[in-house]
Structure 1
């Protein structure tokens, strides 16, 4: 999507919130913050991963599948109505019931008229202590019926959005494929936090790694990155652990990895910035990574290991 000089400025907001076991209450909190962001002039508003519920993947519990919804469905309709009323492009997150036995962790992009501009179904699914996502989520499709990759940007009235989700943020391949397909912004709705028993030094290393890898995607692809994360301590329903303290630290950085806004580790907040969509083009002219890629020498990236 091309942009004239008059339309190069884009006002973006990322929402950092705590979540509740009451789905209605969590959605109401999301809506309140989205309204505040729009009132402040945001044209693009991004919510965090699974913002309508607690992070239920701390345990494996078949009853949790009752939280899943089809798309379209009640939550997508509410977000659609909100985007249309506020005249914004809105990125939301839904535990999607695609069919009986197939569920996804899905980011949904709503256009200003409330229509669904596109879906992104999380491709990389973790299975770690406290993050048992493989029990709940089927990975997104590697290719669509039209032949496009699962890592395909979503076109909107505010630009081409490279939407990924949480665990995807650790993979440079995902960011690169979005960039190669013309993404103008990389977006990572997230739910990540600390084991509350980890010592402060380990917690600091984990947080710094999370921030650094995403800033690296911004630098390597000359694109802004928007990464909203949740806050608050959520208990382990099984009582097998002390739960997760979600570390917040949501941020938006520019195409050289520079911080434009950053949240703290405990407060709900709205990060609001203005980005110049022409900057990526300018930077690529002086740091021409895409020109110098040796695509003739990267074939082994398609192997699990190199012998």
Structure 2
């Protein structure tokens, strides 16, 4: 049985023209498939600019149903190319009810499953609580023809509980579509600390759970439409690491890039045999994890 899996991340800059962004994603997917990718991951909210820099009710017009136009488009592409595609969409679940939702499309074009972002940030330039209702599907894996995917979204990547629950559900890979960047006012030292922390946190999930991690970020500067803030410099640096946190591939900080790597799906079992963290967990003493804080 072939245990090798070729994976690709499509790191791209975005424009105000949604169709242009979709076309760029489609071309990236085609290029990755031509290079042998079996699993292709798109960045968070890849159809549009990152609209959460301001609170603007008109931005709800960007939302779409699932199934809907994007799942139809990328589903047809997945079927044509015989690949699995992970997208990230602004979901309109009902009038006045919206989610930040990842969708995995299987090789036959069908929707293999969805994940609704659970942790929703609310920071200057990242006003996501205005737009997104927290997910209600839990931390459940998506079963596809190439394996069991633990798909999480951006802010989720900082929470070890999320990665652990995906691992406990049987995930074989952890996947993080992402939109994260610097405030241009931060000095170079602060920018480096933030970038290092972002990567360290996710590599830590790989180590703690013995799973490969795929983190796909956007790149480029996007202005704050309100003019209140100086916008966001999305820092790119999409990366793929193995189950010991080892970097297998890393993208640049400034340009569109198709990042590819080959995963050995046997590595997780090999690593978990020498680092048996799941075996040694003391769940009989973890009750306080259900509290917000131990006062």
- TM-score above 0.5: yes
Pick aligned residue for 1:302 from 286, 290, 293: 290
Partner of 2:3: 8
Deviations 1:215-250 (A, max 9, x none): 000000000000010000000000001100000000
Partner of 1:184: 172
Runs in 1 of length 4+ with deviation above 2 angstroms? none
Pick aligned residue for 1:69 from 64, 83, 87: 64
Q: Which SS does the other structure have where 2:177 is aligned?
A: coil
How well do the aligned residues superpose, as a CA RMSD in angstroms?
0.6
* Pairs within 5 Å for 1:1-307: 6-141=1-136, 144=137, 150-307=138-295
Structure 1 residue runs of 5 or longer lacking an equivalent are 1-5, 145-149
Q: Which SS does the other structure have where 1:188 is aligned?
A: strand
Work out the CA distance in 1 between the residues paired with 2:238 and 2:66: 27
Q: Which SS does the other structure have where 1:7 is aligned?
A: coil
Aligned residues: 295
Partner of 1:3: none
Structure 2 residue runs of 5 or longer lacking an equivalent are none
Work out the CA distance in 1 between the residues paired with 2:185 and 2:283: 44
1:213 deviates by: 0.2
Work out the CA distance in 2 between the residues paired with 1:75 and 1:90: 12
1:7 deviates by: 2.2
TM-score of the superposed pair, with normalisation by structure 2: 0.99
Work out the CA distance in 2 between the residues paired with 1:76 and 1:138: 20
Work out the CA distance in 1 between the residues paired with 2:148 and 2:20: 31
Work out the CA distance in 1 between the residues paired with 2:25 and 2:160: 30
